[in-house]
Amino acid sequence: MLFQIPDVLSVDELRQIHEELATAEFVDGKTTAGWYAKQVKNNQQLKRNVGQSLESIVKAALSRHPLFQVAVRPKQIHSLRFSRYGVGMSYGTHADNAMMGRYRADVSFTLFLSESTDYEGGELVIEGADDEQAYKLKAGSVIVYPSSTLHRVNEVTQGQRLVVVGWTHSLIRDPAQRELLFDIDTVRRSLFAQHGKTPEFDLLSKSVSNLLRRWAE
């Protein structure tokens, strides 16, 4: 599934991240790219072993968000990259690596830190079978997409683009199974909101639990 979540970060969290990044050391983004991605990656990333407190803010924000939790079923949010794109920088078409250390990359996300009006270009473009879609969200919002997709970042032509890119190892490996669980759980929660605990709610709850037992890794 591909979906957007607005306002994942609060105003205070955004301000804290921007204050720390303003004086942080960035390095060439090619240092964390795979052998073929190095050819198309032109950005800067926060130096490794720097910014653990910022990573904690991002992970906590995603962990408390119910949509992210139900749709992604994260086992581990890992490999966060604070990335900076200045004028002339871009990231050409690529697919994310399947494994990052000991974790799979099942679901990718981009959390926008810069306001969309602060820079020109820099759209995240996700390719489909017969079309492509460009995304440029407001600061504090996130877009979630399968790690298996081809995607790119268009060249920044004015201003500066700051984002956090991360990957999630999901409890449910198969994307079709994740989507099915999400659909059933959405209906279950809607029924509960409208009618409370009913026999139909109990049956759907049983189904969600039993599918998780069958599919979770």
CATH 2.60.120.620 at 3-170, yes or no: yes
Q: Is 151 marked within a binding site?
A: yes
Q: Which two tokens stand for residue 196?
A: 């409370």
Q: Is 94 marked within a binding site?
A: yes
Q: Which amino acid is at 83?
A: S
Q: What CATH number matches the domain at 175-215, 4.10.860, 1.10.10, 3.30.310, 2.60.120? A: 4.10.860
Q: Is 213 marked within a binding site?
A: no
pLDDT of residue 51: 83
Q: Is 130 marked within a binding site?
A: no
Give the pLDDT means over successive 10-residue stretches in the chain (217 positions): 97 97 95 86 91 94 97 96 98 95 96 97 95 97 97 98 98 97 97 97 98 97
Domain map (residue ranges) of the chain: 3-170, 175-215
CB 152 within 8 A of CB 174: no
What per-residue string of b and e applies to 121-159 under the rule 16 or more CB within 10 Å gives b? Answer: bbbbbbeeeeeeeebbbebbbbbbbbbeeebbbbbbeeb
Q: How many residues does the chain have?
A: 217
pLDDT of residue 71: 98
